[in-house]
Amino acid sequence: MSNPKTQAGSKTLQLNVAQGKAPLAVNAGAGKATNLNADEVDGQGFGCPGGTLLHEGVCIEVAKCPANAHALAHQDCTDEGKRLPSVEELLTFRDRSGHDFAGPNAEWTLQIEYNGTALGAIQVSANGSVGWASSGGSGITNYRCVALPA
């Protein structure tokens, strides 16, 4: 297809579909389209380092770190230029394959703060239950760090 017209509103392709329906489907073996790369957005490439999975726009560590107090888990992630995951990230991440979320221990999420004061931390377990740990999360549990894609 081509459209050499330069007038305002000129289109080469327009797809009109019902709400909630996919406007385009491509077979898995089709390869990449020339000059169209889903690995790049606005000229920026995105990738996660080894040992992490791209999930909801962030790179989450596949292997959980050994159990630790929330403050130490937070510090460990911060020292690496990372952070603990949000509750929402862990709730959806636990349903993915390729990680070790299973087990009896819950995992730490970001700390809940109000006006700079730590109110507590939330834990997410493998079955999706969410628990509250007051006093900034003084218990011991596993965690994993999160970073932005490079």
List 121's β-bridge partners, or say none. 111, 133
Mean pLDDT of 43-47: 62
Give me Rg for the CA atoms of the chain. Answer: 21
Q: Is the confidence at residue 137, as pLDDT, over 60? A: no
* Cα gap 121→98, rounded to integer Å: 26
Q: Is the confidence at residue 80, as pLDDT, over 70? A: yes
> What domains, with CATH codes, occur in the chain?
47-147 (3.10.100.10)
On average, the pLDDT of the chain sits at 82
Q: Is the confidence at residue 102, as pLDDT, over 80? A: no
Token readout for 56 is 């909801």
Query: Where is pLDDT greater, at 52 or 117?
Result: 52
Phi-psi group of 51: left, alpha or beta (phi > 0 → left; psi -120 to 50 → alpha; rest → beta): left
pLDDT digits (tens, 9 = 90+) for 8-33: 778 878 888 888 787 787 787 777 66
- In which band, very low, low, confident or very high, does the pLDDT at 36 lie, cut at 50, 70 and 90? low
pLDDT digits (tens, 9 = 90+) for 107-136: 999 887 778 777 778 889 888 888 887 655
Q: How far is CA 73 from the centre of its chain?
A: 18
Residue 132: its pLDDT value, please? Answer: 81
